[in-house]
Amino acid sequence: MSDAAAPREGVRPSVAVLDYGSGNVHSAVKALIAAGADARLTSDREEILAADGLVVPGVGAYRAVMEALRASRGDELIGRRLAGGRPVLGICVGMQVLFGRGVERGVDTEGLGEWPGVVTELDAPVLPHMGWNTVEPGEGSRLFAGIENERFYFVHSFGAQQWHLQVQPPFPSPTLTWCTYGAPFLAAVENGPLSATQFHPEKSGEAGIRLLSNWIGGLRAATL
C-alpha cells in the first residue's frame, strides 16, 4: 500500500464485517470496536475491498453459509482480497468454509478451498461442543500473544480435524492452534493474510477482545 493510503497515526484501522445474512453479527462489530478497529457491518463491495481487514462470520449449517456467500458474491470478495494479500479473518463457520469441503449429516458441500481438507462432525460423546475451553497455540502465534493460557467460547458440532496444506520455502509455515474435545480439532489457523478461529472471539470476554486486538495490530503493521 502506498504512503498516501496508510492510516494516519491514531486512526483506527478499518474493518469490514461481511454482511451476507449469516445470523446476528452485531456482537462481532462491537467487539472489534472495543478491540481498536473502526468496524462496520457492510455488504458494499468497494468498502469491503478497500478495508484494512475483512471479518467473515458464520453460524448455522455449512451448506447454508456457502449458499449465502455465493448468492451475495462474498466468495469472490474473499478471493480478491486474499489474491492481493489483504487480511481476512474467518470466525466459526466462517472458518470452516475456508476448507475444501464440509460434510454435515450426509450433505457434502464444496467450500471456498483456501485450505485443503474436509470439515466433519467432531469425535466426541456429547455434541455440540458448547462452552469454554483452553487451546494449544502454535509456536510464534501472533493471535494468541499474551493470551496463550486463556479460555475461549465454542459452540459447534463440526470442525477441521486434520491439516493437509504443505508449504514450501521461502513461504512460512502456517501457525496452527489446536483444541481437544473428545479428539483434537483446529481451533485457529494463521496463514499469511488469512486467519480464522473456530471459537467466537466476540463471546470470549476479555481474552477474545485481546485476540481481536492482536489481529488488528497486524492490520496496523501491514498498512504502515
Active site residues: 92, 200, 202
Task: Tell me if 11 sits within 8 A of 224, measured CB to CB.
Answer: no
Phi-psi region of 98 (alpha: psi -120 to 50; beta: other; left: phi over 0): alpha
User: Which grid coordinates belong to 118?
Assistant: 474436509
User: Which grid coordinates belong to 14?
Assistant: 478499518
User: Which grid coordinates belong to 29?
Assistant: 462489530
Q: 3-state SS string over 157-194?
A: CEEECCCCCCCCCCCCCCEEEEEEECEEEEEEEEECCE
| Other beta carbons less than 10 A from residue 8's beta carbon | 5
